[in-house]
Amino acid sequence: MISVNDLKTGLTLELDNGLWSVIEFLHVKPGKGAAFVKTKLKKIETGQVVERTFRAGEKVAKAMLDRRDMQYLYKEGKEFVMMDTENYEQLHLAEEQVGDGMKYLKENMNLSVLLHDGKVIGVDLPFQVELEVVDTPPSEKGNTAQGGTKRATLETGAIVNVPFFVSNGDRIRVDTRTNEYLDRC
């Protein structure tokens, strides 16, 4: 059990006979009355998102998750094939199990697979990945004083807003949590 004051984004909780992931949280101290914590939770099994308010200091059950280091090998139809780096067993994951992270998966990438009671519930990607830009409009001269952006398609199919100076063939670093451009490599 943990206090709701210790909630973090990405933490998995056991509530109402299900697993919920914390998407957002906000500690609120009104001028009058007791403090509380507003949260936005996503049910892992269904993807349902709900908002829930807890009293400050209230205790909730933290889900016990196992992390397995794995390597992404390849995509086979609609499944992603992973290999356990300890015992070399292969595991097939559906698109729903990989979630939004599939747009950053590159062959031979190392990641963590999250398990609860022996069942795969998700994938933890590295916080940043290095990918090649395969399609972006050409840079334009002038009108860059405000630091504008343009859309770029990466080698994995992900689309990211990048500064005007980035061109096709450049390698860039992207934050997988926010889908934002970090820098050029």
| DSSP symbols for 79-139 | EEEEEETTT--EEEEEHHHHGGGGGG--TT-EEEEEEETTEEEEEE--SEEEEEEEE-PPP
Whether 92 has a pLDDT exceeding 60, the answer reads yes
Of 68, 67, 71, 66, the residue nearest 81 (C-alpha): 71
pLDDT of 180 reads 92
* 2-62 and 128-184 have identical folds: no
- Mean local confidence (pLDDT), 111-135: 88
CB atoms within 10 A of CB 31: 4
- Reading across the β-sheet that carries 90-94, which strands appear in turn? 90-94, 79-84, 66-76, 110-116, 119-124
> Where along the chain do its domains lie?
2-62, 66-124, 128-184
Residue 63 has what DSSP assignment? P
Q: According to CATH, what is the number of the domain 128-184? A: 2.40.50.140
Residues 62/2, Cβ–Cβ less than 8 Å: yes
Q: According to CATH, what is the number of the domain 2-62? A: 2.30.30.30
If pLDDT is split at 50, 70 and 90, which confidence band does 143 have?
low
Whether 16 has a pLDDT exceeding 60, the answer reads yes
Of all residues in the chain, what percent carry a pLDDT higher than 90?
Answer: 40
If pLDDT is split at 50, 70 and 90, which confidence band does 94 have?
confident
If pLDDT is split at 50, 70 and 90, which confidence band does 149 have?
confident
If pLDDT is split at 50, 70 and 90, which confidence band does 146 have?
low
Is domain 66-124 annotated with CATH 2.40.50.140? yes
pLDDT tens per residue across span 47-82: 789 999 999 889 999 988 888 999 999 989 889 999
